[in-house]
Amino acid sequence: MDILIINPNTSIDFTNRIDFIAKSYANPGTNVKTLNPQTGPGSIEGMYDAMLSAPGILDIFLRNHSKFDAFVMASYGDHPMISALREITHKPVIGIAEASMQVACQLGYRFSIVTSGARWVPLLEESVVKYGLSDRCSSIRSIHLPVWELESGSQIDVIQEITNVAMLAIKEDKADVICLGSGGMARFHKLIEEKLCVPVVDGVIAGLKMAESIVQMGLSTSKQSLYATPKKRPLQRLPEDYSSPNDNQEPGIAILK
C-alpha cells in the first residue's frame, strides 16, 4: 500500500520529521512518502495561510494521485483542501485532527488539544463543533508559539512548554487524553507522555493508521453528496484538465484522464 502524506507548509525540516515519524509507525507493507508544496507559507498559522498553501497542495495532489492509495493531510485543523480533494478522488483523504480525536475518544471520556499559536484555538473549536465532538473535548489550549517556532526554538523548551500546558488541561479542564494539535509537534508525543499520567495522541500517526485501516478495509470516499465529483463547467485561465472530470466508476482521480 502506498500512502502520501502532504505537509501543507513549505518547510523541508517539517516534511522530514513528519516522514520519519510516519515511517516509524507504518505497517511493514506500507510505503509512506511525505511531500510539501513548492509555494506557500513556511507554516500554516491560520485560514489566510491555508488559502495561500492551497495551489501548491493541489499541484502535489494532481501530480501524485495515481501513484498512491490514500492521502493524509498533515495539517492539524480543518484545512479546506481536505474537503476539496475529497471531491475529486474516490481514494481516502484523511484529516489528522479528526483522526486523532477519534483515537482519543476510544481511550477516555474527554480529550484536550494542545496547539501551537493562539489563533488555532478558535480555529480548532470550529473544527471540533464540525466533527460533532464538543461534548468530548474538555479544552483547547495554546502554547503561544507559532508553528514555525516549534522547529526553530529549543526542542527541550518546546517539549517542556507543551507538557506544562497539557498538565493544566488535565488538572483544570479534566482532560483524560491529550491530542497534540499541530503537525509540527510530531516526534514529541512519547517524551511528553512519559511526563504525564495520560495517553498522548500524535495526529500524523493517527492519520496514517486511519489511512492504512481504510485502505485495508477496501473503502473509498463516498461520492453521494458533499464529495460528489464536480460536473463540467467553464473555467477561466486554469489548466483545461481541472474542468473535465471523467465519470468512470473505478476509484481514481476524477478530473484526470
Residues 176-215 contacting a second copy, CB under 8 A:
176-177, 190, 197-199, 201-202, 205-206, 209-210, 212-214
Residue 147, all three cell numbers: 508553528
User: Quick check: 230 binds a second copy (CB under 8 A)?
Assistant: yes
When binding is defined by CB under 8 A, the residue of 66, 154, 155, 222 that contacts a second copy is: 222
When binding is defined by CB under 8 A, the residue of 1, 33, 51, 168 that contacts a second copy is: 51
Stretch that binds a second copy, among 13-21, 160-168, 180-188, 224-232 (CB under 8 A): 224-232
Residue 49, all three cell numbers: 495561510
Residue 214, all three cell numbers: 481504510
Stretch that binds a second copy, among 14-22, 87-95, 158-166, 179-187 (CB under 8 A): 87-95
Minimum distance from residue 200 beta carbon to a second copy (Å): 8
10, containing H or E segment: none
User: Quick check: 244 binds a second copy (CB under 8 A)?
Assistant: no
End-to-end CA distance of the chain: 23
Q: Is 15 helix (H, G, I), strand (E, B) or coil?
A: helix
When binding is defined by CB under 8 A, the residue of 31, 102, 160, 164 that contacts a second copy is: 102
Stretch that binds a second copy, among 15-23, 156-164, 174-182 (CB under 8 A): 174-182
Residue 174, all three cell numbers: 479534566
Minimum distance from residue 66 beta carbon to a second copy (Å): 18
When binding is defined by CB under 8 A, the residue of 7, 34, 43, 116 that contacts a second copy is: 43
Q: How many CA atoms lie within 13 A of 212 on its CB side?
A: 16
User: Quick check: 121 binds a second copy (CB under 8 A)?
Assistant: yes
Distance CA 69, CA 89 (A): 11
Give me the helices (H) in 66-202, please. Answer: 80-87, 96-105, 120-131, 147-152, 155-173, 189-195
Stretch that binds a second copy, among 13-21, 95-103, 155-163, 179-187 (CB under 8 A): 95-103
Residues 6+ apart with CB under 8 A from 146: 43, 45, 116, 117
Residue type, 61: F
CA dihedral 42, 178, 124, 82 (to 10 degrees): 70
User: Quick check: 246 binds a second copy (CB under 8 A)?
Assistant: no
Cβ closest to a second copy, residue 58 vs residue 168: 58
Cβ closest to a second copy, residue 199 vs residue 252: 199
